[in-house]
Structure 1
Amino acid sequence: MKKYDVRLCRIERAEQIAPGIYDVTVEAGELAKAARPGQFAHIYVPGKTLRRPISICETGSGTLRFVFQAKGEGTRILAASRPGESWDILAPLGNGFTLGDTGRNVCFVGGGIGVPPLLEAAKPFGERAVVVTGFRSRDAVILQEDFKRSGNRTVLCTDDGSAGFHGLVTDCLPQRCEEIFACGPTPMLKAVARAAAARGIPCQLSLEERMACGVGACLGCAVRLKDGGGWRFGHVCKDGPVFDSRTVDFEEGGVRHG
């Protein structure tokens, strides 16, 4: 099949796993076979002109799993879907994580709804991956047992101290780490990139930006990237969503803060 395609995918399972957070698995056939960790799907919402971009959380035997937040009207409509219904899905889209040698000691860092895209990427590393996740409070915590089933070591942080470590994810980065993979709010990504630079290790960041087309045509998800001594514009949907942290311009006007 070509790089991406559109398929009508039957919903196998749908449930709410935390306040405002929904977990949906669909039968996706060839779309699932083509998907790579860190990519996303564009899902049609009945009655809406624009599709909604949702990160791929996990791939199974012909299935795609999505864990997303019902934040606006479109995602609330998707959250109301039930098993037996179908989603019109354009996938897999974007450039995901480059995992490299899975025998290395690595760290995955996720914040809030930025945690789901890390699940499939962390699997091949097993116990060599430390997964540090941060949430507002205990009620917002998701996917901890899923990472543990893959053998990953987990470190949980909450802003209010109601579960795990009371503080920031950057306070819990492991000492033995050869590369960092991260997804979450822009301030967190900026701090993680700074920590990786201080250690002199590679870091891959999955950026979050509003998207319309999902394939690089509308140019609405532009971000500023460092290019030699200057900069250029890249697009999260086509050039990303994953970028080398050294290329991301976090200065004013570079990446929108979410």
Structure 2
Amino acid sequence: MKVERKCKIVSKEWLNQDAVYMVLEVGDMVRTSCKGPGQFVHVKCGDGLLLRRPISVCSCMEDEPEDTLAIAFEVRGEGTAWLSERQVGDTLDVLGLLGNGFQVRPEGRYLLVGGGIGIPPMRGCAQYTQGRSTAILGGRSADKVILQNCFQDECAKVLVATDDGSLGYHGFVDALVRQELSEDKNYDAVLACGPKPMLRNVAKVAEEFGVPCQVSMEERMGCGVGACLVCVCDMKDGTRKHACKDGPVFDSKEVDWDA
């Protein structure tokens, strides 16, 4: 059940010149609407802006008297610029938790792949599997690989790829996915979030090795609850699904990657 809450910012940190990490007190939102890692919240950004901004949940915790959740986002436009200027103690209008997250088991072992701002939602998967999973993180340059220290604390192993070679492997994350699966295929699934070209390549490698793959699709959203058609994703069977309501996570074999 999705709920709308006035949520107080209890901590805020700039991860780089563009990305902000915030922890919010969210009432009973986690207790009433959490389905697992990979969901998102819809945040109202300013009085003059009509549409909310969808932001993936980085981690969340049931607590008393207030549940807490963490979000991480990049400043990409007017709405997120407004959000980045909010300070500790300020209140946000938050709708959540929304969407369907990754299908994971706490006792499972997963290969977590995050690219750019697709990194934060993978942290929830890392925490959920309590140190058994491996993370592969990618970014254009070293400063774009955010939350690396968190993954090092919460995963069995962390691999990094950067487009410019400034940190870790010089290249794209799908090369590291191939390297890891060639050495160890004993993962319950590959879980990935990031730009669509990255997801397509990661899904292709997972299929080659016979490992199930779930992808979280990054799409622009309007309403966040399936009433509009902004976030439609084309499926291989010819249907069209909403990233906000049916996703944002899909089985990679469902997605029409050529659409």
TM-score normalised by L of structure 2: 0.92
- 5 Å-filtered alignment, 1:43-122, equals 43-46=43-46, 47-60=48-61, 61=63, 62-100=67-105, 102-122=106-126
Q: Secondary structure at the match of 1:161?
A: coil
| Displacement of 1:151 | 3.6
Which of 10, 13, 18 is 1:12 aligned to? 10
| Mapped partners of 2:49, 2:128: distance in 1 | 37
Which of 160, 169, 178 is 2:164 aligned to? 160
| Displacement of 1:141 | 1.9
Unpaired runs of 5+ residues, structure 1, are none
Report the residue type matching 1:63 in the other structure. T
Q: Report if aligned partners of 1:4, 1:93 keep a CA contact under 8 Å in 2.
A: yes
Report the residue type matching 1:40 in the other structure. F
Which of 197, 201, 204 is 2:207 aligned to? 197
Q: Report if aligned partners of 1:6, 1:91 keep a CA contact under 8 Å in 2.
A: yes
| Mapped partners of 1:70, 1:105: distance in 2 | 33
| Mapped partners of 1:206, 1:149: distance in 2 | 23
| Displacement of 1:105 | 3.4
The superposition leaves residues 171-219 of structure 1 with CA deviations (integer Å, 9 ceiling, x where unpaired) of 1122323310000001100001101111111100000000000000012
| Mapped partners of 1:149, 1:180: distance in 2 | 20
Q: Report if aligned partners of 2:37, 2:128 keep a CA contact under 8 Å in 1.
A: no
1:188 aligns with 2:201: no
Report the residue type matching 2:171 in the other structure. G
Q: Report if aligned partners of 2:126, 2:155 keep a CA contact under 8 Å in 1.
A: no
The root-mean-square deviation of aligned C-alpha atoms, in Å, is 1.2
Tell which deviates more after alignment, 85-94 or 142-151. Answer: 142-151
Q: Secondary structure at the match of 1:110?
A: strand
Write out the 4+ residue segments of structure 1 that deviate beyond 4 Å after TM superposition: none
Q: Which residue of the partner structure matches residue 256 of structure 2?
A: 249
| Mapped partners of 2:134, 2:111: distance in 1 | 5
Q: Report if aligned partners of 2:135, 2:155 keep a CA contact under 8 Å in 1.
A: no
| Displacement of 1:133 | 0.6
| Mapped partners of 2:109, 2:22: distance in 1 | 31
1:178 aligns with 2:188: yes
Tell which deviates more after alignment, 167-176 or 200-209. Answer: 167-176
Identical-residue share of aligned pairs (%): 42
The superposition leaves residues 101-132 of structure 1 with CA deviations (integer Å, 9 ceiling, x where unpaired) of x4443200110000001101121323421100
Q: Report if aligned partners of 1:126, 1:152 keep a CA contact under 8 Å in 2.
A: no
Q: Report if aligned partners of 1:18, 1:141 keep a CA contact under 8 Å in 2.
A: no
| Mapped partners of 2:97, 2:130: distance in 1 | 24
Q: Which residue of the partner structure matches residue 149 of structure 1?
A: 153
Q: How many residues align?
A: 246
